Structure 1
Amino acid sequence: MPPGVNSPFPDSMPQLLFQTDPARDASSLALHAALPVRAGHYDELRLPAGTTGTAALRPAWARFFELLDPKGLREMNRNAEAVSRQIQENGITYNIYADADGPTRPWSLDLLPFIIDQDDWRLIERGLMQRASLLNQIMADIYGPQTLLAQGLLPPALVQGHPGYLRPLRGYTPPGGVYLHIVAFDLARNSDGNWRVVSQRTQAPSGLGYLLENRITISSMFPEAFKQLRVQRLATSYRRLIDMLHQLSPASADGAPPRIALLTPGPYNETYFEQSYLARYLGLTLVEGSDLLVRDDQLFLKTLHGLERVHALLRRLDDDFCDPLELRSDSALGIPGLLQAMRAGNVLVANALGTGPLESPALHGFLPAISKRLTGTPLLLPSLHSWWCGEAAACEQALPMLDRAVIKSTYPGSRQRKGFESQIGAGADEKQLRALRARIEQSPDAHTVQAYLPLSHAPTWHKSRIVPRAAMVRLFALADGQGGWHVLPGGLTRIANRQQRIVSMQRGGSSMDTWVTTDGPVDPFSMQPASMRPEDIAQVRRPVSSRAAENLFWMGRYTERIENDARLANATLGWLNGDLNPEPLSGALARLCMRSGLMPAEPPRSIRVFEHTLVAELASRDPQRGFGRNLSSLTHAAGQIRDRLSPEHWQLIVSAGDRYHRLIAGDRCDTAAALEDADQDAPPRTTADVQRGLRRLNRQILSITGAQTDHMTRDDGWRLLTIGRHTERLATMAGMLATLFEDNAILRDGGFNLLLQLFDSSITYRAYYQGRHEVPALLNLLALDANNPRSPACSLKMLRNTLPRLPGNSADLPGLLPEPDLGLTLSRLCQRDEHGRYAQVLALASRLEDAASVLSDEISRRYFSHSADVDQSLAAT
């Protein structure tokens, strides 16, 4: 993107606002505290100095600060902290460069809004509507008659030679002739205050979710200013988007409303948060490519209830990943056969595939002539001056001006024609300019030169000061399905930080809420749905995709596994450092730790080696080892279904591992970033550090379990989460019984109390059998008592009650489990063989472990895959 040069500011900053003269009004205070904008850049905050040589705030900003008053200004730092806190609490993230191995990064949002007045907005609105219509006409032409190519208005190299031009769709006409349903335009002001279109996004434009979250957050900080400035609301635009998708979707055979899904690349994508947020807001099903399949040229969602027809996809996946059969064959994100379903007219894909050529910066140089040819009118909003170097005359004109330009890839994001990062010629030295010229001359068609634009500077809030930052605004044009367009009255403003010369969120920039003001009425529409009839309510059912079901099942298992492992690790460390001699039980504890993956599969040579090895494993931040693997697996499973989790639930899961390792580090790491950068080879922490972290983690896991138990809808997905948790508990408790009864370790000094501790049943046992250590009482409580939530009998009871409520033919699933009473009496369970071993306990433990394994495999086969579901009944299409 064209840069906004943002040179470091001098150390001599204005006085803090709350230290200025309290007699001044708020506008005067703000003006006094604002740093000046560099020469050559438009100032969004202040009017230029008049004949008196003094500057004043622009009218909208003057009114904004008047509505705050000096007291409100003094609260600005507190409001900025509240914004950051709200972002953290809501789990709003943007993953820079989609770093799959790094932590999710908080979204960056400035406290002050970016204000566009109604005079500017009228021009912008008309200009973007014109451009969106023009781009849709270009799409119809390049995939149809190609008259623009025949008449020389568009070079064939920018169409047929563009890697984003999809030949399999030549001749395809989408429903209603609408190729573009959402178009994002990046706009900026030049030094004279006029707007320029810098770029456009037509494949899968991002930002619609983030700007909503920005609006909710910032409007709540300044409610009076938001109201009095008459800021246009956004809900109507989103309602129009949904109405348009419904209108253009193919009809259902039974007349039911079409099912619309939002196609995401998955949780590793940098904008995954906004995709899940947008799906929730619009009432769409969030899906990945693996959730969908094509049969008989129709698109289906794999759900627990079978295959359900999908009529429309709002996609956030780039073109070449969408169909591995006809496009990128190595794509694991797409849907085989999607293009054929599109050509058959059985699914609407918004935006239509094949729009890549419209994103080329080279197109801007040809749009003025194309506009006159197709519409008979000039462009209302000019683009940056652009020269495609594939034309000899344009290249000859562009090369001498490299020191005043930005050099871009003609085919950005293409793997066939390797693109490159935009490079700023302005400010480059002679050696760098020579290298740029040589590169362009070697491959001229791959390069486009655009005029350098000194971006306007918007006011931002930074530690009691108003600091100017280079700004670029992303605005969205939405099709109405009938040839018309609507421009969403707001947008996503991005700002550069002090160190960057380019406005880019991927390079650490920030964002602002964008306020469009009006003197007219403000649209009061809300996305709250219209009144529903009782029969409509009875039919509402949220689908649970097979992928979501699988991740819910494993989220339940990992939550239970972490809780049990934390309890085992804490008990082991306590035992190794307690008053009693740990030697009699060290073998059993080592086997339990190895079985759980808390230690390498090798018996320790001594008690001290055992302790040091266990502490080192528990303190490791390696996501592929033991405890760390379970923590990362829980976060991964939850991330796959983030749209189903409350922000609080998600935040509990994300912070669990971070807080655990921070406590282990003795609070030496104050932030997740510092923790990430910490020395991976640092010496192991002390046993006390690890135990403190385990206790805190156990409390947090209990909170996560509570959120799963009490704050999730009791649908089929929740049932599978519950089944996963109790399947894991059944296997874990059986393994603990087997280990401690295997060589009668239960009878050794402390073994009795250790087993109670591992089953989290010490208090219950003391309440029942105070002062007695009897194996029959122990077995009755830990194995046979269905009222004890940690006993296998209780887990079996829960599973038997829940399994038949799964969809489909699930009545046979309880038959995979032992009998409700385990088929044993207490007296038989307590019998010992000729070697003095509790053989029936060991046999029972083995049966329970086998049953848990068989049940898990059968649920996976039956509900998590539809690759061989020839008998699967299809939902009404």
Structure 2
Amino acid sequence: MGGWVLTPRPFMPQCLMASLFQNPSQDHADPGDECAALARDLAASVLPGHWDELRGRVSDGATGTPLTPMWEQFFRLLGPGGFDALGARQQQLLQQIHDDGVTYNVHADAAQAVRAWSVDLFPLLIDAAAWKQISAGAAQRAALLNAILADIYTGAQRTLKEGLLPPALVQGHPGYLRAVHGHAPPGNVWLHIAAFDLARGPDGVWRVVNQRVQAPSGLGYLLENRILISRLFPDAFTQLKVQRLAASYRLLMDTLLRLSPGGSGSRVVLLTPGPYSETYFEQVYLARYLGITLAEGSDLTVREDRLYLKTLRGLEPVHVVLRRLDDSFCDPLELRPDSMLGVAGLLQAVRAGHVLVANALGAGFLESPAVQGFLPKLCETLLGEPLKLPSLPTWWCGEPGVCDAPLDDLRSWVIKPVHADCGFEPTVMASLDYGQLPAWRERVHADPARVTLQQYQPLPQVPVWSDDRLAARAAMLRVYALSDGQGGWRVLPGGLVRTAPRGGNTVSMQRGGSSQDAWVITGDAVDDSTLLPPPMRPQDLVNHHRVVTSRAAENLFWLGRYSERAEYSARLARITLRALSGDDDLGPAVRDMVDSWCRQAGLIEPESPSLSDNPHGFERCIVRGLTPGQHAGGIVQNIQALGFAATQVRERLGGDHRQWIASATALELLPAAARRDELQAAQALRGLEQLTEILSAITGAQTDRMTRDDGWRLLSIGRHIERLTLLGEALSLAFRTNAVHTDSGFNLLLALFDSTITYRALYQKRLEIPPLLDLLMLDRENPRALGWVAQTLRARMAKLPGEAADKEALLALAPDPDDWHLPELCTHNQDSHYAWLELTLTQSIEGAWRLSDEISRRYFAHANAPDRTLGGY
């Protein structure tokens, strides 16, 4: 009877079961303590010489040593399942990233340009003492950089005259903007957001590696990381007293509105480079969180030194621009003339005092690593105090003799360009072979003014959960200082942690790095501020509407048009290939009709052989057109254009909608084997059938899953304009070629209108013109009938914003099916020429094209907008 009989409990954590086997007398031990002990045993060793964040000391490569108290507490609070549940939490994390559509655009990887955002399961924990040092140092640095900008652009330029900063580093830097000289931003606040990349050295001291002051990125990803990770570890987040973030974002918005020339009711926009920006997701996310409008440069226009947002409801004044564009791209008129991202005249609107740009333009030279070496003296001179947060030792080689000693021991340094135009990337000398060092020494001696030397420091190693085990990765912490507009600074309590790939010592999201949340442990009360607005009253909702920018509306308009065009061309290609592979003799009239249909839809090139002269060659041309790059028109081009339009309005489309469009653009219509062998219509038909299914899903998403706002109405209008012109041209060609008077031509026309079943249900096999025209022209219950299309088009247009007289003018361009009458449409002469039908179709098609042009002019380009702007200006 002296032994134990151990019956495993259902769902018992393995870490607890292991401890019971090892020491049966402790079967009532706290599971949290057991998980903390297991973490200590399982934690990976850290490379010697790196700071070990998990153990709070410089590493000697040993394992099994104690963890810091806050990390011990974190592992005690893992919650139900302990380590055994981490795999499931990792899957939850990945699923949530997928569901939220969190992405990062990797321009260096053509094979996977859009990559899912990578975030580790564990956060970085920062204790109160360390954060106090970081916070005070970052706030001081932000104040110092702001003072430097004020002195350079609007002050006495003491920094240059006294040699505190070499003029070559300022006025010789492309980030120095002479166009800004003499202009002081509101409140003399040059920097609303300053970001600093920090690394803890082997001595445990946090040091600044880089500073970002033009358009710092990361605030959106930081927020997304916090939401993701705090939900996975709710007990740890609460009991460790992690400081919250909302108050900092609130301060940012309050400061912008306080300093805005438009006052508290100002419109604020976030200026984005667009969907191809590597951090586009976070820009969309941040704009939504802050409750401001996301705008590209093409969404904005300057009129009479004032900035406006182009919307479907007119030009609306903009008073604040929170930008994510680097300085030189912001105004092609005065800065970089080849920029397609900025707003022409923005600088003039800024100088006129009508708009606040955050951060102010002109700070680019402060991002040069060479500036770091001059900050200690600058801080003592301008702020009267020593620099609290040190930089890594940094030397600008443009000063005579300064870099001679470092060059003798080059492997201890990182060579960085003074600015982006210097022609080389930052290079860690320790990563090179000794034989490569002489060439770098020669390069530095040849052009020292372009070179900065920054001392190499092993990055701290943070714990990560990788491959179901505790591992360690090199990491860097980015923190953000935010201005309060009155001379004070608040450092957001947390940050964006970027981690290096396994075995690396360089952090780069572009090169496969990951990220972490940063938890600041506070001994004080946790700030429970929120950015959620107060509850809305019924009267607040009376005129509430979602702003639809003209750019978004235009892309939705073309999304609708290309969706319809792709669907039509895919249906036509299927009908044609089936007809050509059938046993029926189409006859000359039908061949002429099908030939004209295919050329009009761009399925074949103009110089391709005609269907009448070379049916086999015609078929080969259609099949060949399903291969990307074969010719400019056709199905492939329509799908690509559809995909492009969708990327421009990604934030307005649901996840399924985006996925279907991605599937369409990725679909290989013609297998590679078919391209090498004889081009086979059967293989092409299979690809077209797959595409048709996908396009049907896209149509369903647009019809049933999008809010019926002004943007959706433009999408629907685009679809119906396209359907009206395509089907109208097809019907006209069927009568002009007289193919409609043949059985095969009649049936092909019904198939193209997707109305075969309806016609047979109503009229059986009576192939007669009056019932055909009634169904395809006048039937208001058939969504393919031109009458239904025109009626729906007019109904959508009637609900667009604008003055009644303007909408009446637009409606006058749209065909009115109430003016169509079957007896007149069926009137024909002895040569079977349906003159009234031809006239009606021609007028409808031309009216649709004029309507498209007028919509573009009024709602997208605002060509007549100066007399009808909104907002009191």
TM superposition score normalised by structure 2: 0.90
Q: 2-side partners of 1:51 and 1:869: how far apart?
A: 69
Match of 2:782 in 1: 788
Match of 1:600 in 2: 605
Instruction: Kindly indicate whether the alpha-carbon contact (under 8 Å) linking 1:279 and 1:643 is maintained by their aligned counterparts in 2.
Output: no
SS state at 1:494 partner: strand
Q: 2-side partners of 1:581 and 1:516: how far apart?
A: 79
SS state at 1:68 partner: coil
**Aligned residue-pair number:** 839
For residue 18 of structure 2, the aligned residue among 20, 23, 27 is: 23
SS state at 2:527 partner: coil
Match of 1:507 in 2: 511
Q: 2-side partners of 1:268 and 1:625: how far apart?
A: 24
More displaced, 336-345 or 359-368?
Answer: 336-345
Match of 2:434 in 1: 430
Match of 1:775 in 2: 769
Pairwise CA distance, 1:401: 2.7
Instruction: Kindly indicate whether the alpha-carbon contact (under 8 Å) linking 2:474 and 2:504 is maintained by their aligned counterparts in 1.
Output: no
Residues 432 and 582 of structure 1, relative CA distance in 2, 3 Å threshold:
farther
Q: Which amino acid aligns with 2:210?
A: S
Pairwise CA distance, 1:731: 0.6
Q: 1-side partners of 2:815 and 2:863: how far apart?
A: 30
Listed as ranges, the matches of 1:477-516 within 5 Å are 477-498=481-502, 501-516=505-520
Q: Which amino acid aligns with 1:506?
A: Q
Match of 2:269 in 1: 261
Q: Which amino acid aligns with 2:558?
A: W
Match of 2:815 in 1: 818
Pairwise CA distance, 1:128: 1.0
Pairwise CA distance, 1:317: 0.9
Q: 2-side partners of 1:491 and 1:768: how far apart?
A: 68
Instruction: Kindly indicate whether the alpha-carbon contact (under 8 Å) linking 1:90 and 1:648 is maintained by their aligned counterparts in 2.
Output: no
For residue 149 of structure 1, the aligned residue among 160, 165, 169 is: 160
* 1:562-613 CA distance string (max 9 Å, x none): 2222222233333344565567745433432222122222235644444443
Instruction: Kindly indicate whether the alpha-carbon contact (under 8 Å) linking 1:831 and 1:838 is maintained by their aligned counterparts in 2.
Output: yes
| Sequence identity percentage | 52
Pairwise CA distance, 1:474: 1.2
For residue 453 of structure 2, the aligned residue among 424, 449, 455 is: 449
Pairwise CA distance, 1:184: 1.0
Q: 2-side partners of 1:528 and 1:586: how far apart?
A: 64
Q: 2-side partners of 1:325 and 1:629: how far apart?
A: 34
Q: 2-side partners of 1:636 and 1:73: how far apart?
A: 44
* 1:77-96 CA distance string (max 9 Å, x none): 34334433433333322222
Instruction: Kindly indicate whether the alpha-carbon contact (under 8 Å) linking 1:190 and 1:455 is maintained by their aligned counterparts in 2.
Output: yes
Q: 2-side partners of 1:528 and 1:838: how far apart?
A: 64
Instruction: Kindly indicate whether the alpha-carbon contact (under 8 Å) linking 2:815 and 2:848 is maintained by their aligned counterparts in 1.
Output: no
Instruction: Kindly indicate whether the alpha-carbon contact (under 8 Å) linking 1:362 and 1:386 is maintained by their aligned counterparts in 2.
Output: yes
Q: 1-side partners of 2:381 and 2:708: how far apart?
A: 59
More displaced, 865-874 or 458-467?
Answer: 865-874
SS state at 2:328 partner: helix
Q: 2-side partners of 1:73 and 1:759: how far apart?
A: 60
More displaced, 575-584 or 702-711?
Answer: 575-584
Listed as ranges, the matches of 1:228-307 within 5 Å are 228-251=239-262, 257-307=265-315
Match of 2:29 in 1: none
Residues 623 and 572 of structure 1, relative CA distance in 2, 3 Å threshold:
closer
Q: 2-side partners of 1:495 and 1:166: how far apart?
A: 34
Instruction: Kindly indicate whether the alpha-carbon contact (under 8 Å) linking 1:599 and 1:613 is maintained by their aligned counterparts in 2.
Output: yes
More displaced, 17-26 or 705-714?
Answer: 17-26
Match of 1:388 in 2: 396
Q: 2-side partners of 1:557 and 1:398: how far apart?
A: 62
1:222 and 2:233 correspond: yes
Residues 98 and 243 of structure 1, relative CA distance in 2, 3 Å threshold:
farther
Structure 1 unaligned runs (5+)? Answer: 1-16, 666-677
Listed as ranges, the matches of 1:498-647 within 5 Å are 498=502, 501-578=505-582, 580=584, 585-601=590-606, 602=608, 603-604=610-611, 606-620=614-628, 625-647=633-655
SS state at 1:213 partner: helix
Instruction: Kindly indicate whether the alpha-carbon contact (under 8 Å) linking 2:824 and 2:837 is maintained by their aligned counterparts in 1.
Output: no
1:368 and 2:372 correspond: no
Match of 2:747 in 1: 753
Match of 1:7 in 2: none
Q: 1-side partners of 2:691 and 2:571: how far apart?
A: 10
Residues 752 and 264 of structure 1, relative CA distance in 2, 3 Å threshold:
same
Match of 1:56 in 2: 66
SS state at 2:518 partner: strand
Q: 1-side partners of 2:251 and 2:685: how far apart?
A: 55
For residue 864 of structure 1, the aligned residue among 860, 863, 868 is: 860
Pairwise CA distance, 1:29: 4.3
Pairwise CA distance, 1:488: 1.4
SS state at 2:115 partner: coil
- Aligned residues: CA RMSD: 2.9
SS state at 1:490 partner: coil
Residues 177 and 621 of structure 1, relative CA distance in 2, 3 Å threshold:
same
Match of 2:23 in 1: none
Pairwise CA distance, 1:390: 1.1
Pairwise CA distance, 1:838: 4.2
Q: Which amino acid aligns with 1:814?
A: L
Match of 2:418 in 1: 410
Q: 2-side partners of 1:162 and 1:315: how far apart?
A: 21
Pairwise CA distance, 1:157: 1.5
Structure 2 unaligned runs (5+)? Answer: 1-11, 20-33
For residue 175 of structure 1, the aligned residue among 183, 186, 189 is: 186
Residues 591 and 702 of structure 1, relative CA distance in 2, 3 Å threshold:
same
Pairwise CA distance, 1:388: 0.8
Larger radius of gyration: 2
Match of 2:471 in 1: 467
Pairwise CA distance, 1:621: 6.7
For residue 130 of structure 1, the aligned residue among 140, 165, 185 is: 140
Q: Which amino acid aligns with 2:102?
A: I
SS state at 2:287 partner: helix
Instruction: Kindly indicate whether the alpha-carbon contact (under 8 Å) linking 1:91 and 1:651 is maintained by their aligned counterparts in 2.
Output: no
Instruction: Kindly indicate whether the alpha-carbon contact (under 8 Å) linking 1:803 and 1:811 is maintained by their aligned counterparts in 2.
Output: no
Pairwise CA distance, 1:785: 0.8
More displaced, 109-118 or 479-488?
Answer: 109-118
SS state at 2:362 partner: coil
For residue 724 of structure 2, the aligned residue among 730, 734, 751 is: 730
Instruction: Kindly indicate whether the alpha-carbon contact (under 8 Å) linking 2:592 and 2:737 is maintained by their aligned counterparts in 1.
Output: no
